[in-house]
Amino acid sequence: MSGREPGPVLLSMRGVGRVHGHDEAAVHALRDVDLDVRLGELVAVMGASGSGKSTLLTIAGGLDSPTAGTVTVAGDDLGSLSTKARARLRRRSIGYVFQDFNLVPALTAIENVALPRELDGVAARRARAEALEALAEVGIAELARRFPDELSGGQRQRVAIARALVGPRRLVLADEPTGALDSVSGEEVMRILRARVDAGAGGLLVTHEARFAAWADRTVFLRDGVVVDSTGAPSRAEHLLAGA
């Protein structure tokens, strides 16, 4: 966090806008957003409900396309890739962590984590080795054979983080990953996300709690789809959100 040289840019958004609908019904979910996330950097996104946080994440991850501007991930302009190439880049480079974990209930922890690698054509044996490594990194290798319903909420979220960063994936997009957790598990998930980013990843984290944003290197504030401020000081977050 402090005193480290910033790494190369993983995610770059320039002039990004997203309009839903047309004419009178048009909703500007995002307007003219510029944002970079570098390797080793965790950036928090805060803002009131409906301010465009989830839209920002889905566009950063190539799940939705902007109606204006450009998004570059690891040097590739998402808008100029074919649908197939974009899907491949998503599978290889980008991981999502959701509030409700989104694990496959019929698969064990290790199978859940190995799944994106197997979908990317990696041989099962190697995918499992990579999955075990990712689970070890989030401190739950011993739970590899458990099913999601045999894990606590915090443990499930660790599995989701391992899945988001298995293999060569380096960009993690987390949409309120602590939203369904008690405060102790929430802090633990943040500690793991922070450590994983420090070990060689970049993260974009949506949260509405300043104490979780405090784990980030900086915080970007959205209001009505516009970045209204960007700061490293979480106390400023509370100030701004109080006025939102």
Binding interface with Mg ion (CB under 5 A): 53-54
Q: Which of 154, 153, 145, 222 is nearest to 192 (CA)?
A: 154
With CB under 6 A as the contact rule, the residue among 7, 17, 50, 139 that binds ligand ADP is 50
SS3 call for 98: strand
- Please, which residue, 8 or 21, has the CB nearer to ligand ADP? 21
Total of chain residues touching ligand ADP, rule CB under 6 A: 12
Q: How far is the CB of 66 from ligand ADP (least distance, A)?
A: 13
Site string for ligand ADP, 160-189 (x = CB under 6 A): ------------------------------
Q: Which residues pair with 12 in a beta bridge?
A: 36, 72
Gap between the Cα atoms of 181 and 186, Å rounded: 6
Per-residue tokens: 104: 């496959």
Q: Which of 124, 116, 66 is nearest to 95 (CA)?
A: 116
With CB under 6 A as the contact rule, the residue among 10, 12, 55, 112 that binds ligand ADP is 55
Gap between the Cα atoms of 130 and 133, Å rounded: 5
With CB under 6 A as the contact rule, the residue among 31, 42, 53, 213 that binds ligand ADP is 53
| Sheet-wide strand order for 76-77 | 27-38, 9-20, 68-73, 76-77
Q: Is 47 in the site for ligand ADP (CB under 6 A)?
A: yes
Q: How far is the CB of 222 from Mg ion (least distance, A)?
A: 10
Cβ of 195: how many Cβ atoms within 10 Å?
14
- Please, which residue, 52 or 202, has the CB nearer to ligand ADP? 52
Which residues lie near ligand ADP (CB under 6 A)? 20-21, 27, 29, 47, 49-55
